[in-house]
Amino acid sequence: MKIVAVTACPTGIAHTYMAAERLEKAAKKLGHAIRVETQGAMGIENALSDEDVKNADVVLFAAGIPVRSRERFDGKRVVEVSVQEAIRNPEAILTGLEG
């Protein structure tokens, strides 16, 4: 499965990056391809390209705040979870996406 994800949290200091790391690790373990864009204190990093979005099977938002440039994902299947949830149970979330 090809996944694109965006992580973001209110302060953008820590949880944004923790969630990104957890999702990347879990995807690798489960054999999924994932690209994670972080929207944190340092702005948008690892920005998803139009190509990434177009090719993705599913979009995952792990965010405690509204995701920026959301219109990029119009027409795609978007699943939203809290950033804490993404840190705590990344594998369960990814498995849930397959449904």
Partner 1 sequence: MAQEIEFAFSVPGGLHARPASLLRSAVSRFGSAAMFVNRRSGRTANARSTLALVSTLTRHGDPCALLLDGADEVAAAEAMRGFLRDDLPLSGESLPAAPRPLQTSTALPRALSAAAVPVLRGTRASGGIARGRVVIGEGLAPLADGHVERAGDAAEEIARLDRAFATTIAALQVRSAGAANETERAILGAHLSILEDPELRSRIEDEVRSNGVSAPQAVRATIGHFVGILRASGSDSLEERALDLRDLAGQLVRAVSGDSSEASTDLTGAAVLVAEDLAPSGFLSLDRQHLRGIALGGGGRTSHTVILSRAAGIPCVTGLGEAAAAIPSESETIVDGERGLVVVNPPPAVLRFYEAEMEKLATIRSRLETFRTAPGRTADGRPVEVGANVASLEDVRLAFASGAEGIGLFRTEFLFMSRQEPPSEDEQLHVYSEAARMAGGRPVIVRTLDAGGDKPIPYLGIPREKNPFLGYRAVRMYGEHREIVATQLRAILRASAFGKLKVMVPMVATVEEMRGVRALVRQLSEELAAEGVLFDPGLEIGMMVEIPSAAFLLGALSKEADFFSIGSNDLAQYFFAADRDNERVSRLYSPLHPAFLRLLKQIVDEAHLAGGWIGLCGEMGRDPLRAPLLAGLGLDEISLAAPRIPAVKSALARAGSGECRALLDEALAKKSAPEVEALVRAFSESKRDRAIVADGTVRLRATSRSREEAIRELVNLLHASGRITDADRFEEAVWRREEAASTAIGLGVAIPHAKSAEVRVTSIALLRFEPPFPWVPGDEETVRMAILIAVAEDAPEDAHLRLIASLSRRLMDDGYRETLLSAADEEGVVRLIRDAAS
Residues with a catalytic annotation lie at 9
What is the spatial distance between Cα 78 and Cα 31, in angstroms, rounded to a whole number?
20
Per CB under 8 A, does 96 bind partner 1?
Answer: no
Taking the least distance from each CB to partner 1, the nearer of 17 and 67 is: 17
Q: Which is nearer to partner 1, 11 or 55 (CB)?
A: 11
Q: What are the residues whose beta carbons fall under 8 Å from the beta carbon of 65, sequence distance 6 or more? A: 8, 9, 10
Which tokens in the block code for residue 94? Answer: 């990814």
Q: Which stretch binds partner 1 (CB under 8 A): 47-55, 69-77, 82-90, 91-99?
A: 82-90
Binding of residue 60 to partner 1 (CB under 8 A): no
d(CA 92, CA 42) in angstroms, rounded, equals 29
Return the closest-CA partner of residue 39 out of 6, 76, 3. 6
Measured from the CB atom, the residue of 64 and 73 that comes closer to partner 1 is: 64
Q: Point out which residues bind partner 1 (CB under 8 A).
A: 10-11, 13-18, 20-22, 25, 38, 40-42, 64, 82, 84, 87-88
